[in-house]
């Protein structure tokens, strides 16, 4: 039991230290951290402990933490709830859409796509880069496998 608790504490403390050391701690960096943690702790487990239950727990823990982080980091519903709680005032749907959603969610994602060289902008017109075209091909294949006509 202590082993499980210690491993969770170790994960959280190391995560805290990593966030203070690395600038702009994004989801990708967190994902790399979780993978590194998972591989190292199971490597130790395999050599010294050889505990199957601990291995099973680590698989479930790592995936749950990733799932939780994705929701807390990206979910629009979470963003709305935290915004309303911290501002301690009501807001109209239109105001929230203009001030928070369009600017801080939609525009931010477009900027991320531009920053990652997936789309390009010229004279207020957006178009795909060659990297973006490759990604779009992959998206088209995945969408056709799952029968998704329009995502969103």
Partner 1 sequence: MNFLLIILLSSVFTVLFITFHLLFLYFFSFKKTIQILFCFVLSNLILIYFVRETELYKLFYNSFIINFAILILYWNVFLFIERGFTLSILSLFKKKRKLSYKELIKNYAGGKGVRWKLVIGLNRINQLKIIRLNKKILLTPLGRFLSIVLIFLRKILVIRDFG
Token couple for 103: 């600017």
Site for partner 1 in 42-71 (CB under 8 A): 46, 52-53, 55-57, 59-60, 62-70
32 binds partner 1 (CB under 8 A): no
Angle formed by the axes of helices 52-74 and 27-44, nearest 10°: 170
Name which of 27, 29, 34 is nearest 12 in CA terms: 34
Q: Which is nearer to partner 1, 2 or 21 (CB)?
A: 21
Among 81, 99, 103, 134, binds partner 1 (CB under 8 A): 81
114 binds partner 1 (CB under 8 A): no
Q: Number of residues interacting with partner 1: please give it, by CB under 8 A.
A: 73
For residue 147, the minimal CB distance to partner 1 (Å) is 6
141 binds partner 1 (CB under 8 A): no
Token couple for 50: 């050889």
6 binds partner 1 (CB under 8 A): no
Per DSSP, the three-state class of 120 is: strand
41 binds partner 1 (CB under 8 A): no
Classify each residue of 124-140 as buried b or exposed e, where b means 16 or more C-beta atoms within 10 Å of its C-beta.
eeeeeeeebeeeeeeee
């Amino acid at each position: 039991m202590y082993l499980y608790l210690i491993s969770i504490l170790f994960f959280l403390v190391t995560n805290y230290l990593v966030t203070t050391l690395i600038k702009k701690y994004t989801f990708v960096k967190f994902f790399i951290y979780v993978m590194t943690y998972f591989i190292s702790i199971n490597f130790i487990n395999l050599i010294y402990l050889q505990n199957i239950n601990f291995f099973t727990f680590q698989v479930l823990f790592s995936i749950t933490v990733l799932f939780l982080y994705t929701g807390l980091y990206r979910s629009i519903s979470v963003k709305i709830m935290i915004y309303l709680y911290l501002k301690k005032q009501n807001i109209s749907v239109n105001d929230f859409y203009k001030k928070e959603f369009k600017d801080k969610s939609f525009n931010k994602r477009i900027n991320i796509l531009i920053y990652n060289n997936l789309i390009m902008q010229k004279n207020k017109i957006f178009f795909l880069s060659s990297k973006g075209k490759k990604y779009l091909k992959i998206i088209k294949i995945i969408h056709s496998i799952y029968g998704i006509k329009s995502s969103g």
